[in-house]
Amino acid sequence: MKIVIDTLGSDNGAKDIIDACVEIYNLKKIQFVFVGEEKFLEKQLENKIEPKDYEIINSLETISNDEDPVRAIRKKKKSSMVMAFNRLNDSDCDGLISCGSTGALLSCGIFITGRIKSIKRATLAASIPTLKGNSLLVDSGANVDCKSEFLRDFAIMGDIYSKFVFDNKKPRIGLLNIGVESHKGNKLSKETYKLLKNEKRIDFIGNIEARDILNGTADVIVADGFDGNIALKSAEGMAVAILNQLKSALKSSAKTKFAALLFKSELKNSLKVFDYKEVGGAPLLGVNKAVFKAHGNSDKRAFKNALLLLIDYIEKDVISYLKEELCLEKNL
């Protein structure tokens, strides 16, 4: 198995990425293509990964989140993202992972790797740690102004990913909406409800409200990327706000500092369920090869967990199942 690693674009620099790869290398037979600053990479990899098991593609250029992605990938041919995706197109490469710009990754996936025949939109499927394990949010922000058929495809792809990578035998598919009743919602959600209800390939459990996501009510949550992204970031904002308030309260006096000492480990453990670093990355579903987006601020642990998911995704040959299932109906 050969994986292309875009080592640029991470908030924490390339070192954590390399360290994660080295740890995985010691566990599994994997070859790497590292794209990034050649000299730095050579130094980091020396005596850690055998020279036959890696290659380096030199690149010093990144694409930022502020740039228009489509324009950027056309203009920045020497950026690590574009070079990584070009290398992925060679038949010896099986997958790619990057911490870089989400928009650029999506654009490269669509324009360089290419969409699976019959799919109109590729989706970035975010893993959400819930009280009942991981749920998958499709779409998490890659596609806005969706049509109901796009959301139906997201549901089918999310279903397959959940089955193979999260080992859910029969994933429960829910539609993100502002009420659970079938008549609730906007034009898109009402149309999508009908499509999903009639879709035999999935176990559609109906609408789910944003407040129930973390309960693990659905294994796969289907949404337009605009709404999915708002749900994700709103929950994140609340988590940060509460934890900050909690920290201040615990630091407010000698008494509360003592209390903090007493239950620090239990608190950490109890909140671990919501730690996205346990999951680490999101697959770009609907393109012809295995592509993963790791968080921009991934540390070693987060990147390692994302890489493990990518390896699992490749080993189980999920892409083949996706192609089969998606082309089935349309006889392509």
Site residues for a second copy per CB under 8 A: 65-66, 68, 131, 141, 144-145, 176, 178-179, 181, 183, 185-187, 189, 209-215, 224-227, 229-243, 245-246, 248-250, 252-253, 255-256, 258-260, 262-263, 266-267, 269-271, 273-274
Cβ–Cβ under 8 Å, residues 123 and 286? yes
Dist CA 163 CA 185 (whole Å): 28
Query: How many helical (H) and strand (E) elements, i.e. helices and strands, does the chain have?
Result: 11, 12
Minimum distance, C-beta of residue 260 to a second copy, in the bound complex (Å):
8
Which of 245, 298, 259 is CA-nearest to residue 275?
Answer: 298
Minimum distance, C-beta of residue 293 to a second copy, in the bound complex (Å):
15
Q: Which is nearer to a second copy, 65 or 297 (CB)?
A: 65
Q: Which is nearer to a second copy, 60 or 271 (CB)?
A: 271
- Would you call the peptide bond into 299 cis, given omega within 30 degrees of 0 as the criterion? no
Minimum distance, C-beta of residue 159 to a second copy, in the bound complex (Å):
22
Q: Which is nearer to a second copy, 92 or 263 (CB)?
A: 263
Minimum distance, C-beta of residue 291 to a second copy, in the bound complex (Å):
21
Q: Which is nearer to a second copy, 60 or 243 (CB)?
A: 243
Rounded to 5 degrees, φ, ψ at 41 are -65, -45
Q: Which is nearer to a second copy, 101 or 288 (CB)?
A: 101
Give one DSSP letter per residue of 198-258, joined into a string. Answer: T-TTSEEEEEEEGGGGGGT--SEEE--HHHHHHHHHHHHHHHHHHHHHHHHHHTSSHHHHH
Minimum distance, C-beta of residue 241 to a second copy, in the bound complex (Å):
4
In DSSP terms, which residues pair with 208 in a beta bridge? Answer: 176
Q: Which is nearer to a second copy, 276 or 313 (CB)?
A: 276
Dist CA 80 CA 240 (whole Å): 32
Tokens coding 159: 């279903």
Minimum distance, C-beta of residue 160 to a second copy, in the bound complex (Å):
26
